[in-house]
A = this chain, B = another copy of it.
């Protein structure tokens, strides 16, 4: 038990965002039967600064062995544990449109401990059907079911104009964290975690940088 609680320092967000990258690389190396890995190898594979990598890994509470580096299984375990991906996190999804359906079919979520147990929509044609084995229920049932089942995570894949109403319903039910895909800023009490996975944020970085690049180096 104590072994699990070795994490002491808070892990800053930029580090948290890099951890899945380390998991990707290590999972690949594991398939290649690698047993020990150095932070230099990881930094080279990812094109990241090696001091940064070492700092990130130490924040997960793991120490490498001199000469050998990190035991790959232990390092993977430490990364999963820091992200809480070694636990199962139950979630409800609201909005079974095209993006919502894609997320319901995204098998990799299971690897990350995210277990979407039901989806909610207000379209009578969708209600009662299942998508990848996940039932679609009427949105009126959302608040009550969160209360009854103590679900902590709500995933919002609704259009912008419906997102806030359903967020309020989730909060009424006692949801603790919301993963928001709607292109809108959600209002919520301070103790509710809101994490935005809005595609527009990374698209904006891409299109801005591309425009800069084309300006300085036109065809």
Q: Which of A's residues lie within 8 Å of B, judged by CB?
A: 10-11, 13, 16-17, 19-21, 23-25, 28, 45-47, 82-85, 87, 89, 98-99, 101-103, 105-106, 108-109, 112-114, 150, 152-153, 160, 176-177, 179, 183-185, 193, 195-214, 219
Partner of A101, one of B102, B109, B206, B207: B102
Contact A179 B204 (CB under 8 A): no
Copies of the chain in the assembly = 2
Contact B184 A206 (CB under 8 A): no
- Chain B: minimal CB distance from A82 (Å): 6
Q: A183-B108, A185-B21 given as contacts; is B208 within 8 A of A83 (CB)?
A: yes
Of the A-B pairs whose beta carbons lie under 8 Å apart in the complex, a sample of 20, sorted by A's number, is A11-B208, A16-B208, A17-B201, A20-B203, A83-B207, A84-B208, A84-B210, A85-B207, A89-B207, A89-B210, A98-B105, A99-B102, A99-B106, A103-B199, A106-B199, A108-B183, A114-B203, A177-B213, A197-B199, A197-B202
Partner of A82, one of B16, B114, B179, B208: B208
**CA separation between A44 and B99, bound complex, in Å?**
29
- Chain B: minimal CB distance from A80 (Å): 10
